[in-house]
Structure 1
Amino acid sequence: MDTRFSAATIVLRHQQLYPLAMATAYSSSRKSDRRQTTIDEAVGHARDIIAEQGAGAVSISEIARRMQMRPPSLYKYFPSLNALYDMLFEMGNVDLSRYVDDARLSREPGLDQLLEQSRAIIRWSMTEPGLAALLFWRPVPGFEPSEAAFAPARAIVDKAREDLTTAVARGELSPAADSEAALRLLTSVVSGIGSQQMSNEPGASYESGSYTRLLDDALQMWVRHYSP
C-alpha cells in the first residue's frame, strides 16, 4: 500500500471538506442570530403590551399579530405563554438588581445601603410598573417563575440580610433587627408604600407621589422600632 498516496488523499479530503464545514457553521450561526432576533422582537412587543395594558394582557396571539406572524409560528421560540412570562420575569429581576446595585454604590454599608435599596426598589417600580406588577403582585393566574428567573430577586434579599447584620454590628440597629421578622416588616413597609402609590397615582413621579413622599417617614418609623 502506498502510504504517501493515502496521506495525500486524506489531506485532499480535508481541503475539500473544510469549506463545507465553514459554510455549515456560518449557516448555523445565521440561523441562531435570526432566532435570537425573533425572540428579542417578541419580548419587546410583550414589554410594550405590559406597559400599555398590564402584565395580564400578554398573549401569544397579540404578539404574533404585531409581528405579522401566525401564532403557531411563535411556539417554535416559546413553548408556552408561561415560558415567555418566565423570560420577562427574569429580565425584570435582572434590570431591578442592576438598578439597586447602582443605587447602593454611593452609600455606606449597613443601614445607609439598606434604606437606599428600599428607595431604589420603589423608584424602579414606578419607571417599570408593568414589570413591577409581574414581579411583586403576580397578576398572571397559574404562572410560577422558575428558580433561575427568581435568582436575582433572592440576591437582592440576601443583600438586605447582609445590611441588617452589618447595621447591628455597627450599632446602628438593635440585635433584634438581624432577623427574618425585621426583614419581613421592612419589605411590608416598602411594598405597602409602593402598592398605594401605583394603585392611586400610577402616573406620578417618585418625587411628586403622595405616597412615595411618605417613604422616608415610614422607613424612619421602622428604624426607630429597631433603634439600639
Structure 2
Amino acid sequence: MSTAAPDRRTRRHQETIGEILDVAVELMGTEGVAALSLSAVARRLGMQPPSLYQYFPSKMAIYDALFQRGAELFLASQREAVAAATTDDVVELHLIGTTAFARWSMQNQVYSQLLFWRTIPGFEPSPEAFAPAQEALADLRAHLQAGVGASRLHPDAASDEGLAVFTSLTSGVLSQQLANEPDASFESGRFTRLFPLVLEMFYQHYAPTRGRNAG
C-alpha cells in the first residue's frame, strides 16, 4: 500500500524548517556556533520572531535538528566513500572512510563544531538526533572488526578502548587542523596530511601479535 504524498501545507512546513536550518548554519558560520540568535534567524527569513516558534520551540531545538542533520550528512558521506571504493583491502577502506570523515568535517565546520565538540553550553542531543552518530560509531567498529577478521588487527582494536583511541587520534588531528589552518584544503592541510600516518600508528599499536610476548 503506497503512502500518500504530503499535502501542500505539509510540504511548505517542511520547506520552511529546511530554510530555518539553512539560515541558522549560515549565521553560525559568521557569528559563531554558540552565538545563534532566533531573532536574527527570523529577520533573515522575513518573519516575526514569534512565528519561528511554530517550527522550533527553542534555540536548543534548532541545535538538536542541526545535530541530527549534520550526523546524517556525515554518515552518508562516509558510507558513500566506502561504497565507491575499488579495493577490498581493509586498511585502505579504513583510510578511505577516515579521509571522508576529515574532508567532510573541513567542508562543514559549523556542523563539525556541533557534532564533535561541546561548543553549546547546556546542549545535549536528543536520542533521535544522536542516532545517526551512533550508527557512525557502529560502522567504525565494523571496520575495526573487519581488520581483526583479516588478521590485520588485534581483537582489542574493536573494543571500547580501541574505538576511544581511534576517535581520540582522528578527532585530535582534525582539531589541530581546524584550529590552526581552518581555510586549508584537506590535501594541503599541515595536519590532515598526517591521517595515513595516524592510521599506520593505530594498526601498529593494535597489531595482531599484540601482547604475545608479554609476561
State TM-score, norm by structure 2. Answer: 0.88
For residue 213 of structure 1, report the CA deviation from its aligned partner.
Answer: 1.0
CA deviations on 1:17-72 (whole Å, 9 max, x unpaired) are xxxxxxxxxxx933223322322221111111122233212221110111121111
- Superposition pairs for residues 1-228 of structure 1, below 5 Å? 29-105=7-83, 106=85, 107-108=87-88, 110-228=90-208
Structure 1 CA distance for aligned equivalents of residues 47 and 179 of structure 2: 35
For residue 222 of structure 1, report the CA deviation from its aligned partner.
Answer: 1.1
Structure 2 CA distance for aligned equivalents of residues 31 and 174 of structure 1: 55
CA deviations on 1:80-109 (whole Å, 9 max, x unpaired) are 111111111111011001100011111426
Structure 2 CA distance for aligned equivalents of residues 54 and 128 of structure 1: 13
Q: Is the 8 A contact 1:97 1:152 kept in 2?
A: yes
Structure 2 CA distance for aligned equivalents of residues 165 and 91 of structure 1: 27
Number of corresponding residues: 201
Gaps of 5+ in 2: 1-5, 209-215
Which of 1 and 2 has greater Rg?
1
More helix by share: 1
Gaps of 5+ in 1: 1-27
For residue 181 of structure 1, report the CA deviation from its aligned partner.
Answer: 0.9
- What secondary structure is seen at the aligned counterpart in 1 of 2:63? helix
Q: Is the 8 A contact 1:111 1:164 kept in 2?
A: no
Q: Write out the 4+ residue segments of structure 1 that deviate beyond 6 Å after TM superposition.
A: none
User: Sequence identity, in percent?
Assistant: 42
Q: Is the 8 A contact 1:164 1:178 kept in 2?
A: yes
Structure 1 CA distance for aligned equivalents of residues 46 and 80 of structure 2: 38
Structure 1 CA distance for aligned equivalents of residues 82 and 66 of structure 2: 24
Larger mean Cα displacement after TM superposition, 172-181 or 41-50: 172-181
State TM-score, norm by structure 1. Answer: 0.83
CA deviations on 1:102-123 (whole Å, 9 max, x unpaired) are 1111142643333322221111
One-letter amino acid of the structure 1 residue matched with residue 19 of structure 2: E
One-letter amino acid of the structure 2 residue matched with residue 165 of structure 1: Q
Q: Is the 8 A contact 1:99 1:124 kept in 2?
A: yes
One-letter amino acid of the structure 2 residue matched with residue 101 of structure 1: R
